[in-house]
A = this chain, B = another copy of it.
Amino acid sequence: MDRTFQPVTYYNTFGPHEPAFRIESGDTLHTKTLCAQGIDEHDVQVADRGNPLSGPVFVKGAEPGDTLQVDVLSARPNRPEGWTRTVVASHVVNPGYVKELPEDEYARWRMNEADNTASLLEPATALGQSTLPLDPMLGCLGVAPARHQAISTATSAEHGGNMDYRAIRAGATLYFPVFEPGALLFTGDGHAVQGDGEIVGTGIEISMDVSLRVTLIKGKEIGWPRGEDAQWIFALGNARPLDQALQLATTEMIHWLTTDYGLDPRAASILLGQCVRYDIGNVFDPAYTVACKVAKDVLP
């Protein structure tokens, strides 16, 4: 069933908050998200900055130990301008180079509906009116965390969160472990475009219209967020440093391959050894995100 959820309250933590909306497994949720600064489609600041999220959405019947499937049906910018920061983070360059970095400022980008692109309006640089194809994605998507924690929407963990991974876009399906009754789904922090790693600390930040189909998978237990799209299956690890995020993602992928694809750990190793691909979701937030991917056409 199609359900429309217009948020009134926004949260800056993923946590066991009072449900704002209740749905059934199989429902499609149509909602709106603010940009990372809390500004809506009408350019009005309606929530505190720092990734204020829409939710929590309570999914009837969800219990700890289940998995929540979220199909991203669409995620579209719903205002004419977005913004980015303009200097790479001091922790993604050599420490000795940090002093060479310019002062940060904001850049403005215009959405061009006609050709589905975004163009740089300011600052003026040698890039001119740089124009990039839109590739809208959700920076934040996830559920209430383990152990009744309330975790800042600046970061991520087993529950998903602020993973800032480009592949969380229309056409992707995500899977999250359920830790609280009702799962308590949150989303927000949409980006019209974003490079790997979110290394300037932002994508093109913008408010969005978002449609998600939510399905409860009873009794299926996973350790970390997983996902798939037309070409790939992927497992996500969220931690610092990158090495640990990669360990978490790789281990979750092995669990997936050995549980659902009929491979023992050796066969999973042989497959991954020659076929694995890694993406760096974000290398900016307190927890980094690494995706361990396998192409569907090499899966048994």
Given contacts A244-B240, A269-B86, contact A195 B148 (CB under 8 A): no
Contact status of A13 and B147, CB under 8 A, knowing A87-B269, A200-B269, A278-B196:
yes
Q: Does A114 contact B (CB under 8 A)?
A: no
- Chain A, 168-195, contact with B by CB distance < 8 Å: what is the 0/1 string? 0000000000000000000000000111
Q: In the complex where A195-B274, A270-B120 touch, is A126 in contact with B202 (Cβ < 8 A)?
A: no
> Number of residues in A with C-beta < 8 Å to the partner?
84
Q: Is the CB of B273 within 8 A of A200?
A: yes
Residues in B with CB closer than 8 Å to A246 are 92, 197, 242, 280, 283
Expressed in whole angstroms, the Cα–Cα distance for A149 and B241 within the complex equals 22
Q: How far is the CB of A158 from chain B (nearest CB, A)?
A: 11
Within 8 A of B (CB), among A133-180: 146-152, 154
**Interchain CB contact (< 8 A) of A98 among B99, B120, B199:** B99
Closest 7 CB pairs of A and B: A200-B273, A90-B95, A125-B267, A242-B242, A98-B98, A91-B95, A195-B276
Q: Can you list 13 pairs linking A and B with CB atoms under 8 Å apart? A: A13-B149, A50-B147, A88-B254, A89-B95, A90-B95, A90-B96, A91-B247, A151-B151, A195-B275, A195-B276, A196-B277, A243-B283, A246-B283
